[in-house]
């Protein structure tokens, strides 16, 4: 296989992988970063694209890490929906 063909094949494969990740909505914001372990434990079946993960984290608020609660309180439309002091 020539180098050019290899590069083209690799680029095509990467574009498919990127498209699949975008459809799944893998989240890359501060909540996704701070809550990575909590998402894996409590919300692995939820989608980032439709607020499913954030809603799940909010529903499991008492179980998630302090760092995750802080990220929920300081980001997003409602910024913790008024729960900053809890």
Count of the separate structural domains present in the chain:
1
Establish if 54 belongs to a structural domain: yes
What are all long-range contacts of 52-57, with beta carbons under 8 Å and residues at least 24 apart? 53/27, 57/31
Domain containing 18 equals 3-81
Please give the C-alpha separations between residue 82 and each of 19, 34, 78, in angstroms, as whole numbers. 36, 20, 7
The answer to whether 32 and 39 are in contact (CB under 8 A) is yes
Model's pTM, two decimal places? 0.60
Q: What do you get for the CA distance between the two ends of the chain, in Å?
A: 61
pLDDT digits 0-9 by tens, 19-71: 334 434 567 899 999 999 999 999 999 988 889 999 999 999 999 999 999 99
Cα–Cα distance for residue pair 24/32, rounded to 1 Å: 14
Place 18 in a pLDDT band, splitting at 50, 70 and 90.
very low
Establish if 86 belongs to a structural domain: no
């Amino acid at each position: 296989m020539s180098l050019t063909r290899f590069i083209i094949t690799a680029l095509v494969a990467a574009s498919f992988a990127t498209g699949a990740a975008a459809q799944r909505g893998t989240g890359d914001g501060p909540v996704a970063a701070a809550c990575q372990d909590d998402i894996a434990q409590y919300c692995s079946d939820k989608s980032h694209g439709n607020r499913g993960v954030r809603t799940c984290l909010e529903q499991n608020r008492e179980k998630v890490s302090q760092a995750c609660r802080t990220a929920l309180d300081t980001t997003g439309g409602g910024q913790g929906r008024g729960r900053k002091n809890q």
